[in-house]
Structure 1
Amino acid sequence: MATDHQGPATMLDVAAHAGVSRATVSRVFTAPESVAAATLERVLKAVEDLSYSPNAAARSLRSGRSNTVALLVGDISQPFHSQLAKSVAHVAEDRGYSLLLCDLDHSMDRLQRLLTVLPLQGVDGIMLATGDAIETPGIRAAIDAAEAKGTRVLLGSAQPDSSMALTVSPPFEEIGYLATKHLLAQERWPVALLSGFKGSVVSTLLRAGYLRACLEAGHSEKETMVLDAGFNSTSAQRETAKLLDGAAMPRGIVAANIPIALGAISALADRSLSVPDMVALVACEEVQLAEQLRPGLTTAGTDIGVQGEAMALALIDAIEGQAATARALVPHLTVRESSALS
């Protein structure tokens, strides 16, 4: 339904053009996940047809910027993501930007919707902090469209074959290598890798590092143990229990993150297997929770505060047209009780 409205289009114009209520249009911008896919597509088509901007007033201020950036995380319940968000928020505030935090819950549909809607809300930049493989045609098109609208997009983990210019990613392969090599140096063979899940870029890179360390130590790929643990403690506990009931029990475990390590520790405790005397553990991320646990968890990873700062500064520099300063994310090993030799 066309409109003959003179001047900038309003939300009512969009509603009339799409044949929906004003409330539905409002939900498209505030809670896109609550709108049916067909309706969302119709409203977004009306927005495009009418060149509607919900934040036209805000965009006219501050040299055409809203001074708002968004951080999209794979799972906000993860300790890593909450700590990363805190670091990003502090840097953004120091640079005069507000932060919008969005939980993807590992949903590609939700990611694509947010990449479409956030630029229309006047967001200046978007940071994607997820280890999922997002290099799909739909996501790629949504990122390109966001950039075309002037919203810069930054990847917080490297994607395979990505042409994205803005990427600030920890060296996950080196992290997996460092964690595995630490256990192998203690002659903790066999060593198992509790990865996240298939399709995760982080899991793929950690596995590559794990395999490299095992091969360097003289073990064949057939001897290795790699399990998909789903990035959460419940599935990790279940998969670890299966591993412990197998023919060869590991003497070392590399966990992709802290929740996976906690699930593994629970499975070991259920079988009265002590850590680290019988099985040693290393988690592939450094968060504050690791040192507060008992036993304290040995970690391999990069400083989350440094990572959040590097992501926020790189994105804001790009928004403001400044050359980004190279900021290296260097992995390090922090040995605690879960792998300490007695």
Structure 2
Amino acid sequence: MTLREVARETGLSPATVSRVLRDSGPVSAKTRNLVLSTVERLGYRPNSLAQGLRTGRSTAVALVVSDIEQGWHASLTKHLQVSLEEIGIDLILMNLGHELRRLDMVVERVQAMRLRGVILAASDRIPPKQVKRVVGNLDKEVLIASIGQRLDRYGIPSFVHSDTEAAEAAVEYLLQKGCSPVAFCSRIRTSTMGKERFQGYLNAIERAGLAIDENLVWDYSDTSFFRQAAGYKMLNDALDRGVKFKSVLAGSDEIALGAMAAVLDRGLRIPDDIAIIGFGGLDWGVSVRPRLTTLTSDLAGLSESVREFFLQQKNGAGGKPQMLTVFRRELALRASA
């Protein structure tokens, strides 16, 4: 189905149909209703990329993720796609594969495809120079937002979760349950979210009057393994070294899953011998055994806020957009802790 076929069906010119669909230029109410009813009846959908070639700017937005295989990014993509489709914005997924050098290539593609905006959902810490380069290389008409990583200091509206506070709450819960010592397993040096979660771990340990034991902090930066493999390896390595601990706060649900597998493979019990808490609230957490205790994500609320940001800018509502929006994580208690 093409625009010309809609025009032929209505008896109007392609230019008139286009004005109605783009909501630009004067048309009568009768004409508008005729076009819209015909579009609905025929199931016509405008091609946003083709529109971009004709009008100079597409309605599509690029979602840039660090790891396309990560469960959290998959859930985020699903929620964002639904929310943005409601306002006529298509989502194009672009994967960095934990290689930040690819971000400059992504910017080039966004420019070449004349996309309407970019949503950075990179968990890897983007150096300040590269952030400034990204902003500087994008046309001023391209909207940019960040999810998960605070980039509001560079004028980029950021939508984040309260990771530090969530980690504090999780560690305090484990300490109150007598599951001490508490270990922390995540990417810290190269991940902005991992760093914030680790800060929450430190805050809770220090608030309890306990000393920080470096043997209980497992920071993995080896790019040969991620997600479940990282949790499995880190926990096994700690047990092989004879590290004593009663619980683990993992930097993601997938890391927690790998850690759980390692505990069970060693003939230990969860949570009796080692309690485990994840981060993210992925759907499958209720299906593993024991069911995974986790810190949830408000992906529905986050996606709605991102949609409102693009809607306001699309409609030219005026005024500076809110630079920082923070969403709360809740501790979902299940069998693993």
Q: Which residue number corresponds to residue 23 of structure 2?
A: none
Matched to 1:330, the amino acid is: R
Matched, 1:58 2:49: no
- Where do residues 81-96 of structure 1 align in structure 2 (5 Å cutoff)? 81-96=73-88
- Where do residues 166-245 of structure 1 align in structure 2 (5 Å cutoff)? 166-222=157-213, 225-229=216-220, 231-245=226-240
Query: CA distance change for structure 1 residues 321 and 123 in 2, over 3 Å: closer, same or farther?
Result: same
After superposition, what is the alpha-carbon deviation per residue over 1:157-202, rounded to whole angstroms, capped at 9, x for unaligned? 2347842331111121112112211211101100000012422111
Q: Which residue number corresponds to residue 338 of structure 1?
A: 336
Q: In the TM superposition, what is the alpha-carbon distance from 1:224 to its structure 2 partner?
A: 6.8
Q: Which residue number corresponds to residue 142 of structure 1?
A: 134
CA distance in 2, matches of 1:173, 1:224: 21
Work out whether residues 177 and 212 of structure 1, in 8 Å CA contact, stay in contact via their aligned partners in 2: yes
Q: In the TM superposition, what is the alpha-carbon distance from 1:56 to its structure 2 partner?
A: 8.9
CA distance in 2, matches of 1:107, 1:312: 27
CA distance in 1, matches of 2:213, 2:270: 26
After superposition, what is the alpha-carbon deviation per residue over 1:125-165, rounded to whole angstroms, capped at 9, x for unaligned? 1111111111342342122221x341111111234784233
Aligned equivalent of 1:278, options 273, 289, 293: 273
Q: In the TM superposition, what is the alpha-carbon distance from 1:110 to its structure 2 partner?
A: 1.1
After superposition, what is the alpha-carbon deviation per residue over 1:94-116, rounded to whole angstroms, capped at 9, x for unaligned? 01111111111111111111022
Q: Which residue number corresponds to residue 156 of structure 1?
A: 147
CA distance in 2, matches of 1:122, 1:160: 23
Q: In the TM superposition, what is the alpha-carbon distance from 1:299 to its structure 2 partner?
A: 0.7
Q: Which residue number corresponds to residue 295 of structure 2?
A: 300
Matched, 1:103 2:95: yes
Question: Structure 1: where are the runs of 5+ without partners?
Answer: 1-54
Q: In the TM superposition, what is the alpha-carbon distance from 1:247 to its structure 2 partner?
A: 3.6
Matched to 1:310, the amino acid is: S
CA distance in 2, matches of 1:255, 1:199: 16
Report the secondary structure of 2:145's partner residue. strand
Work out whether residues 249 and 276 of structure 2, in 8 Å CA contact, stay in contact via their aligned partners in 1: yes
Question: Structure 2: where are the runs of 5+ without partners?
Answer: 1-48
Query: CA distance change for structure 1 residues 224 and 187 in 2, over 3 Å: closer, same or farther?
Result: farther
Q: Which residue number corresponds to residue 44 of structure 1?
A: none
Work out whether residues 160 and 326 of structure 2, in 8 Å CA contact, stay in contact via their aligned partners in 1: no
Matched to 1:303, the amino acid is: D
Work out whether residues 125 and 152 of structure 1, in 8 Å CA contact, stay in contact via their aligned partners in 2: yes
Matched, 1:329 2:327: yes
CA distance in 2, matches of 1:223, 1:57: 56
CA distance in 2, matches of 1:135, 1:206: 19
Report the secondary structure of 1:192's partner residue. strand
Matched, 1:122 2:114: yes
CA distance in 2, matches of 1:167, 1:71: 14
Alignment coverage as a number of residue pairs = 282
CA distance in 2, matches of 1:250, 1:304: 32
Report the secondary structure of 2:92's partner residue. strand
CA distance in 2, matches of 1:56, 1:262: 43
Work out whether residues 51 and 57 of structure 2, in 8 Å CA contact, stay in contact via their aligned partners in 1: no
* RMSD between superposed Cα atoms in Å: 2.2
Work out whether residues 126 and 154 of structure 1, in 8 Å CA contact, stay in contact via their aligned partners in 2: yes
CA distance in 2, matches of 1:166, 1:104: 21
Query: CA distance change for structure 1 residues 187 and 97 in 2, over 3 Å: closer, same or farther?
Result: same
Work out whether residues 52 and 58 of structure 2, in 8 Å CA contact, stay in contact via their aligned partners in 1: yes
Query: CA distance change for structure 1 residues 315 and 177 in 2, over 3 Å: closer, same or farther?
Result: farther
Query: CA distance change for structure 1 residues 233 and 183 in 2, over 3 Å: closer, same or farther?
Result: same
Moved more, 175-184 or 74-83: 175-184
- TM-score using structure 1 length: 0.76
- TM-score using structure 2 length: 0.77
Matched to 1:225, the amino acid is: L
